[in-house]
Amino acid sequence: MKRFVNMIIDLIFLIITLFVVVIVILQFINVFGASHLEEYLLNEKVITLITFLVYFVPQEAIWGRTLGKLITQTKVVNRQGLKPNFFQVVIRTLCRLIPFDMLSFGSKNDRPVGWHDKIPRTYVIDVEKLV
């Protein structure tokens, strides 16, 4: 259930981040006269990629948690229980863009692990269990 709540909270902040990314891209195009890049920069796939990287990578690389995980008292760790390295965080973020990633949580065990955790070999754990 916490994973679902994380997703909802992060989705809200991801939408806010999306608006900021679009505003920054539009300002970049206006200030630097980058109209030749406008079609590329305003492509929905490029904006989605940038938004995911801007939202997830800094938070999980620095603190091991997004705002959603902070609120639900969970965090991302590697197989050794330590903060994942930068490469794992980037791979984890890119794997979130795999179509049907959410369906990969269909496991019947008590610890569902999606593709964005399986591939970079990370886990989401409760912080309170660490204390």
**DSSP characters over 71-119:** HHTEEEEETTSSPPPHHHHHHHHHHTTSTTGGGGG---SSS---HHHHT
C-beta of residue 103 within 8 angstroms of C-beta of residue 114? no
Bridge partners of 125, per DSSP, are 75
Break the chain into its structural domains and give their ranges.
Answer: 2-129
Q: What are 69-84's pLDDT values in tens digits?
A: 999 999 999 999 899 9
- Give pTM, 2 decimals: 0.81
The widest CA-to-CA distance across the chain, in whole angstroms, is 53
Residue 93 pLDDT level (bands cut at 50, 70, 90): very high
Looking at residue 90, what is its pLDDT?
95
pLDDT at 66 over 60: yes
